[in-house]
Amino acid sequence: MPHTPALLVLDMQNALMAVADRAAETVAAIAGLRERARAAGVPVVTIQHRGEGLEAGSEGWRIVPELRPAEGETVVHKTGADAFVDTGLDRILTALGVTEVVVTGYATEFCVDSTARQALSRRYDLILVADGHTTKARPDADGLVSSDRAIAHHNAVYRYIGYTGRRIRVLPASEVDFAAPGPPVRRS
């Protein structure tokens, strides 16, 4: 099967970006990546969460202006952390012939992590965009590590995690190339 990537943009919504760590930098990294994906003919799939504080149609629920989907781009609505559960995401990616997902968005340790792991379990290769995901701005408190430590931790985990037959890479947005990757790198 030919290499076919898709860019996933998770939960980059007004209310969430209002509380996110390095929101402007993350939005800018994703926006640049999205433009490159579009130019390369790579599908962009926007994932939009609905729930408490993110009621459909509310201003907080809306995607930030810099990342609003273009006419005809796919939007998937979800109500849980995993963008594959009770949505048509897997069906959409399969219909597009996608073999690799490029994951970006909010929140690193919840929706981004859950979706990335499910993508691997569903046999997609994965690129986690190191500077293209974020979480709620916070210090170390209440058993959670600070936002910058959570982001760094997840980037490190995905550099070492292994799924048989899957290619997993953690790259800054500037290094994401939508062309077919080389052979998988063996981990020791």
Which strand (E) or helix (H) includes residue 75?
Answer: strand 74-78
Region 115-122: what's the mean pLDDT? Answer: 98
Cβ atoms of residues 76 and 87 within 8 Å:
yes
pLDDT for position 188: 41
DSSP designation for 153:
H
Which strand (E) or helix (H) includes residue 157?
Answer: helix 147-160
Closest C-alpha to 129, from 147, 102, 148: 102
Region 156-181: what's the mean pLDDT? Answer: 92
- In which band, very low, low, confident or very high, does the pLDDT at 184 lie, cut at 50, 70 and 90? low
Q: What is the mean pLDDT of the chain?
A: 94
As a whole number of angstroms, the distance between CA 168 and CA 171 comes to 10
- 83 is written with which tokens? 């963008």
pLDDT for position 48: 98
Residue 119, preceding bond cis, omega within 30 degrees? no
pLDDT for position 187: 46
pLDDT for position 182: 61
Q: What is the pLDDT of residues 50-76, one digit of tens each?
A: 999 999 999 999 999 999 999 999 999
b/e code 153-168 from CB counts within 10 Å (16+ = b): ebbeebeebeeeebbb
Q: What is the pLDDT of residues 73-91, one digit of tens each?
A: 999 999 999 999 999 999 9
The number of angstroms, rounded, from the C-alpha of 140 to the middle of its chain's C-alpha atoms is: 24
Close Cβ partners of 162 (under 8 Å, ≥ 6 residues apart): 168, 187
Region 42-50: what's the mean pLDDT? Answer: 98
As a whole number of angstroms, the distance between CA 30 and CA 16 comes to 15
* Side-chain half-sphere CA neighbours of 143 within 13 A: 0
As a whole number of angstroms, the distance between CA 130 and CA 125 comes to 16
Q: How many residues does the chain have?
A: 188
